[in-house]
Amino acid sequence: MNSLQGKQILLGVTGSIAVYRSLDLIRLLQAKGAEVKVIMTKGAQAFITPLTFSAISRNKVYTDIFQTYPEYPIIHLDLARWADALVISPASADILAKLAQGIADDLLTSTFLGCSRPVLIAPSMNPQMYAHPTVQANIAQLKKYGFHILASTQGKTACGDVGQGRLPPVENIVEAIESLFSKKDLTGYKVLITAGPTQEAIDPIRFLTNRSSGRMGFALAKTAYQRGA
């Protein structure tokens, strides 16, 4: 069952070099039947124009809490009510600090405070910034508040540094969004799943095997994770 069919996803994008990957995220969400509306911070607009996100999302892009939007008289609260989930990806170090401390100085942070729906945050930044104690403290605080944090991945970042801080693959972000809408009846359970072909030795040279691809095992693992295991 497609848990994203008909869902309304509010995507907040911030000032990170990984912001361009949010375009692929929108396409994947749309392919699964979700409608996406976008809030862009000033930092995000320094990398990509709102027109690009408007063309991909096929919706108006929202950028300014003080701008008049006829369809949404109280823009930050109306957008928060529209959304089935708020996804902030990529989330810069700056936005993490504001969210953790309750600062509401723009449209995205104000909408965050007014949102009672599930919130998923995907940090993306330089590895040294990601490892900084204040950033880690902000992430820990947001987790303590009950918000969903998708851990950054290891690898080479845009600046050339190697370490943790890369935005996860958009497929992983979509899976995390799907899990927001999945029932959590496996919470507290530990599930061990084997996947792929097996081999049974006949002698030192020959063995019996099968043509299993492992896809069923991976699908079971994904479902178990989404249901809280």
Query: Could you give the residue numbers annotated as active site?
Result: 159
Tell me what percent of the chain is helix, strand and coil, each rounded to the nearest 5. Answer: 40, 20, 40
The residues near 193 (Cβ < 8 Å, ≥ 6 apart) are: 217, 220, 221, 224
Tokens of 114: 């007014």
Collapsing DSSP to helix, strand or coil, 213 comes out as: coil
What contacts 24+ positions apart, CB below 8 Å, involve 20-25?
A: 20/47, 20/48, 21/90, 21/167, 21/170, 22/53, 22/89, 22/90, 23/48, 23/52, 23/53, 23/56, 24/170, 25/89, 25/170, 25/173, 25/174
In 3D space, the residue among 39, 76, 79 whose CA is nearest the CA of residue 57 turns out to be: 39
